[in-house]
Amino acid sequence: MVTPVAPDRGKLHASVVSAIEAEILSGALKVGERLPSEADLARRFAISTRSVREGLQILETKGLVRRKHGERAEVVRDDVEQFLGSLATTVRSLFAEDPAYLVQLMDVRRMFELEVVGRLAAGEGQLSPDVAAALDELSGAKDFSQYAEADARFHRALVQSLGNEILSSVYGNLYALITDVIRLTSRVPSKTQAEGVAEHEAIFNAIRTGKVEGSRALMREHIDNSTAYLQQAIDAANKQGKPS
């Protein structure tokens, strides 16, 4: 006698996950829209409400829906902005505990920006007018604060020029932190304003003339130098904070 094999419950809730995920990603289900009730979904997919709940739990883990007790699940795909904002807050709290995390942020910048300038030089995306505008602001900066702000805007405009919305969102949420880093690095005696402007102009021109490796090399040198200046600023601050 053959013992009946119980249906694979994993496959049952997987049908809910794949169908609803496809509807959310295609835009058929809009952000803020409520899903049908668990009972209605159970009837639609011919499965138990328990399997429906398991599927909704997976969708919630993926960040596609939000569930509250007594309410139908809500589509929250665009909550990525809220998540990234929380991430930036968490990173800032790490900096408050240990300034050495600022150096790690520079490493993140290096990963992002070397890829960005190389791809822009290769013809991807389109250089935003904001890049040239930031260069003009750098040249005309009257004080240290204006220079730091224009410097940060230059780098942000490059990232946005690539046209990758997720990358722009991630970088944008770290933008205030990056501006803080630029302020710190610019305070370390290293180069004149004219030399700093020339570095940015060289990166800009390498991108415009399609020099992929040249633009990456210039950006790498720029961020590496800034990281060294940042480490000097951190070391100086630590030395001042120690009792003599």
DSSP string covering 133-150, please? HHHHHHHH--SHHHHHHH
| Residue whose C-alpha is closest to residue 151's, from 232, 235, 229 | 229
Q: Given this model, what pLDDT does residue 7 score?
A: 44
DSSP string covering 118-180, please? HHHHTT-S---HHHHHHHHHHHH--SHHHHHHHHHHHHHHHHHHT--HHHHHHHHHHHHHHHH
Per-residue pLDDT of the chain (244 residues; tens, 9 = 90+): 333 334 455 577 888 888 998 888 777 888 889 999 999 999 999 999 999 998 998 888 777 888 888 889 998 865 555 555 555 565 666 656 666 777 788 888 899 999 999 999 999 999 999 999 999 999 999 887 788 889 889 999 999 999 998 888 788 777 777 777 776 666 655 668 888 899 999 999 999 999 999 999 999 999 998 888 777 777 766 666 554 4
Q: Given this model, what pLDDT does residue 49 score?
A: 92
Let me know the angle formed at the C-alpha of 205 by 162 and 136, rounded to the nearest 5 degrees.
85
Q: List % helix, strand, coil for the chain (3-state, nearest 5).
A: 75, 0, 25
Within a 13 Å sphere around the CA of 21, how many CA atoms are in the beta-carbon half?
Answer: 15
Let me know the angle formed at the C-alpha of 127 by 208 and 187, rounded to the nearest 5 degrees.
85
Q: Given this model, what pLDDT does residue 90 score?
A: 59
CA separation for the pair 106, 178 (Å, rounded)? 8
Q: Given this model, what pLDDT does residue 88 score?
A: 56
